[in-house]
A and B are shown apart, each in its own frame.
Chain A
């Protein structure tokens, strides 16, 4: 499981890989938080729960990251402790996070640009482009 930033002229792109779909989704959140350069502080943690459904797994990934991004901005919480349950194209998630102390970059949106989850020797892999 892992992630790394890949070059993109105007926006930000992230390569993510994991053994399975829930793992890929969790790595994508960690990578997104790294791109935002989040620093958290100890203190009262926040929690959020939500459910999502989508027509395909790529749409579910965009919807999931968009949802996490929205709650991070709204609650000013770094939601990096996440439990996901998935059945077919339905997802339920529980987020736990500490208050954000510092954030250097804003991600405006998660895009579908050339988004495709593929099987590779590392398991499942994809590249996600974020609008900044």
Chain B
């Protein structure tokens, strides 16, 4: 059944609600954060219907929340957030996604763009060589079972032990780069084999490594705390847990098909399969999902280490400060146990974020001390060749969106539509005429990720800032884009 704008109640300019009474099988309402224009456009695909389907799962602690970068996924919409009561609520692998802990890491430098520019092509080439990207790519690691187990448990701390991270990197990573209670014993041998060779790689699709410049600062104090200086280079890394996470999600979505029958759960879509958090199936998936999340934190940490080596190789010895500092690392496909105020009381919940970024507000104890006055850095990459944003979480996001915010621009065109409309070679020329160097493994893949295939990221940011889920810190402009 399709949804019309008339079925959606306006709460404010950037906040809307589909009441639980909209459909007889809904157990909670759906809360949407978007401008009217974005909302009307979203009615053109199944994203809002998927959010309504998600609202039928048992055990949610409050509304299903949808961000303005929403788009149609499979089962749960991309841009969706929901919190299940712990321990009796549900955990749903499909509401987290196949690329477990896909996320974004932002690194900052003190190198002015003018200073860096004469060597920018060399920088692009060396980053492309050092950060493997593309379909099914393997990296330089061939992990033993023992090392894979350690990565599952330690996440980024494994890289620290190997000299590929600093303590500050870990402090400036969500959950210090490791979720507790990961259980490698719950991972299939097939997932293990896929994980052994893909550490330190970007992958393909919408994953990327981007060198950019801080174009404009909106909150000087917060930007200074984060080490973001106008005109200086930054690096953004977008990737996840690679085939390791894909296999874990595949395994558990199949296993949970039987679990929903055993627990008598009726769903409108089989991709929404779930199991109680305190069930044997739920505990096993949590242990496996956390292992993949920690693998992804470690993956981005190793890529950051490779970026540092390249910056040193290219810029050391010419008078530039080649040091690369971590700003923050956020997950946007993840399930985590958190405590939130819901209907006036503190409740322990499992927050499912699928295409949504954590955005904890000021003074949250999990933030590094230097960020507590400003809120958690929220990284919102734009589409390829367009601006990206650094925001900071607010107190209101803690009240209305389980401390969550948007994660990107959000697609509007299918991949086939994009390829029909845009030629990869022409896109490269257009981007290069705008001062952006592109290194891509596939012209077809490049066309699929063209800016025209995505919403305007500024309109997404306008919605989350308008809804007070985050505030602006800085806007970034790309200079080099590396894609698989």
Contact = CB atoms under 8 A, between A and B. Distances in A.
Interface residues on B, range: 35 or more
Interface in B145-178: none
Interface string A87-116: 000000000000000011110111111110
B71 to A, nearest CB: 5
B283 interface: no
Contacts of A113: 74-75, 269-271
B271 A73 contact: no
B401 interface: no
A103 B73 CA distance: 23
Interface residues of A, number: 33
20 contacts: A7-B414, A8-B72, A9-B411, A9-B413, A9-B414, A10-B78, A12-B415, A73-B243, A103-B135, A108-B246, A111-B94, A111-B271, A112-B257, A112-B273, A113-B269, A113-B270, A129-B271, A131-B74, A131-B246, A132-B415
A131 B102 CA distance: 13
B59 to A, nearest CB: 20
A66 B253 CA distance: 12
Interface string A64-87: 001000100110100000000000
Contacts of A9: 45, 47, 71-72, 411-414
Contacts of B254: 59, 62-63, 66
Nearest to A5: B416
A37 interface: yes
Q: Decide if the interface of chain A is mainly helix, strand, loop or mixed.
A: loop
Closest 4 CB pairs of A and B: A113-B74, A112-B270, A111-B74, A113-B271
Contacts of A111: 74-75, 94, 253, 271
B135 A10 contact: no
A20 interface: no
A59 B253 CA distance: 10
Interface in B69-104: 71-75, 78, 94, 97-99
A37 B73 CA distance: 21
A132 B445 CA distance: 11
A11 interface: yes
Contact of B257 (A59, A108, A131): A59
B340 to A, nearest CB: 28
B135 A7 contact: no
Contacts of B383: none
B203 interface: yes
A112 B74 CA distance: 8
Contacts of B194: 73
Nearest to A62: B254
A106 B72 contact: no
A70 to B, nearest CB: 6
Contacts of A76: 136
A109 B412 CA distance: 21
A7 to B, nearest CB: 5
A89 B411 CA distance: 38
Nearest to A8: B414
B193 A104 contact: no
Residue with the highest number of chain B CB atoms closer than 10 Å, among A10, A11, A63, A74? A10
B110 to A, nearest CB: 36
Contacts, number: 100
Interface of A: 5, 7-12, 37, 55, 58-59, 62-63, 66, 70, 73-74, 76, 103-106, 108-115, 129, 131-132
B249 interface: yes
B98 A105 contact: no
A58 B254 CA distance: 11
A5 B193 CA distance: 31
A111 to B, nearest CB: 4
A66 B258 contact: no
B204 interface: yes
Interface string B244-274: 0011011001100110010000000111010
A114 B292 CA distance: 26
A33 B98 CA distance: 20
B203 A106 contact: yes
B444 interface: yes
A73 B136 contact: yes
Given A104-B445, A106-B203, A131-B98, A112 B412 contact: no
B193 A55 contact: no
Contacts of A103: 135-136
Given A73-B243, A105-B135, A10 B71 contact: yes
Given A8-B414, A104-B442, 7 more contacts: A11-B74, A70-B247, A105-B204, A109-B246, A109-B253, A111-B74, A114-B269
Contacts of A37: 444
Interface string B414-427: 11110000000000
Residue with the highest number of chain B CB atoms closer than 10 Å, among A63, A74, A115, A131? A131
Contacts of A10: 71-73, 78, 411
A113 B76 CA distance: 9
B257 to A, nearest CB: 6
Nearest to B412: A9
